[in-house]
Structure 1
Amino acid sequence: MFVVACGVLLLGYPVAFTLAGVALWFALLGIGIGAFEAVQLLDVASRVYGTMSNATLMAVPLFVFMGVMLERSRLAEQLLQTMGALFGRVRGGLLASVVVVGALLAASTGIVGATVVAMGLISMPTLLSRGVAPPLASGAICASGTLGQIIPPSIVLVLLGDVLSSAYQQAQLRAGIWSVETVSVGDLFAGALVPGVILVVVYVIYVLFAS
């Protein structure tokens, strides 16, 4: 199923239709070979309602909305220009500004794709015009853009928090622990903050010495 979904995505179909369509085709295939009953497809409605009423997952569309607002208002572009004017005369200062702004965008949006695209459109022409090597410029943008995976608040951590909380509670119940404890999204945010800051510091040090 995963291989088929990747293949359909490579053909250029939208992600939403690909995921839903592949899942539906495999469901029909499972019904055809007798793996499960057709009536079990009726559980999809309750599953969708349960996901939509999940208070934890409500943060995902709000993070996406916040990222879109930052992009449309051009606050990220103004921030990068200000950082570039402040540290542009320092050796590697512009690259360090890209990393810092990427970390701030990661903390604001939590979306890797939006951060990388925004940073690429905003900073790549400036970096190339300043004589920065294309591999170093693209590497700094991609590295700082992927900080959205770990620097809280992160959409990935929100999704993992919902899954891990349920899995941890089930594991405790199977072990005979009836006073179960939960793994909250706040716990994941607290655990990811220090590694995220360390990555930012390491990236800044690297670009300062590599440029």
Structure 2
Amino acid sequence: MQNTLIPMSRPDAAVGLVYATVTGRADKWFFLSGGDLSVERAQRADSCLIEPESGDTVLVCNGGAQTSYILAVLARATPAQATLKLPGDVSLHTAQGQLQVQAEQLELTGRKRVTVVGAQVELAGVQGDVRFSRLNTSAEEVNARFGVVRSMAQSITSTVGRLVQKARDSFRWVENLDETRAGRVRMQVKERFHMKAKHTTLLADGQVKIDGEKIDLG
């Protein structure tokens, strides 16, 4: 029986782990300086989630004739901030207790509940869609500014302690019944008051007073 010998290359003796300090960056390459000067530049390994920065102490796999990789960031030059690089062009930035997430699309899914709590919550976007089967809102004060508002509802019921409205022009169309119940009604018209109806009925239990410079009946 003939044996087939498979030649195997010997591993590069220069391959090993070394400590280094990041001195700069050009594209995907990080320039390094170390005590033995065995590694001058390296790329960040996918397993190293923290993005190395200048002054950081890193653990480097010296690839010898092949590419060297930064395996981990051992010590940060600025411990208060860091950038985590995730596959899919997603980044997490931390600085002074702040967290920023950068992604093409961000989705939060909770099987039971999603809660956002903060002293100040801000939402900004070009277009927003909000859909709920049931919505409960509570606020002590609301200040809102709108350019154009369009709303559609089958039924609206509101209870207001005091209502003040100011408009330049107001138009309202009621298809069927328009009823107002009030303890007192006072209307002040600066120029002309015009009322037109097919049938008009005015009833008063007490006094009816009509005063004007000229009164036309009929």
* Interval of TM-score (by shorter of Structure 1 and Structure 2): under 0.3
TM-score by length of 1: 0.18
**1 or 2 for the larger relative contact order (CA 8 Å, sep ≥6)?**
1
Greater fraction of residues in helix? 1
Greater fraction of residues in strand? 2
TM-score by length of 2: 0.18
> In terms of Rg, which structure is larger?
2
